[in-house]
Amino acid sequence: MPTDVWLDLRWVAVAARPLADLTDPAVVRSLLTALRLNQGGAVAAAETQRHRRKIPQERR
């Protein structure tokens, strides 16, 4: 595995929250609130918010 890919995956492993945290309603609420903002901290456009909140549908 290339070093840059390994370093990126290592960063994700350290920076990401455990999946089990999503069972806590406070964590989910904070995630949804964060999705409303752009990188500058202002409220993102409505279409951007909708796009970020979409859950990929499993194809059957």
Token digits of residue 18? 């455990």
pLDDT at 47 over 70: yes
| pLDDT at site 6 | 95
pLDDT at 3 over 90: yes
Virtual CA dihedral for 36, 51, 47, 18, nearest 10 degrees? 0
The angle that helices 25-35 and 46-53 make with each other, rounded to 10 degrees, is 140
| pLDDT at site 9 | 94
pLDDT band at 60 (very low <50, low <70, confident <90, very high): very low
pLDDT band at 56 (very low <50, low <70, confident <90, very high): low
For the residues 38-45, what does the mean pLDDT come to?
85
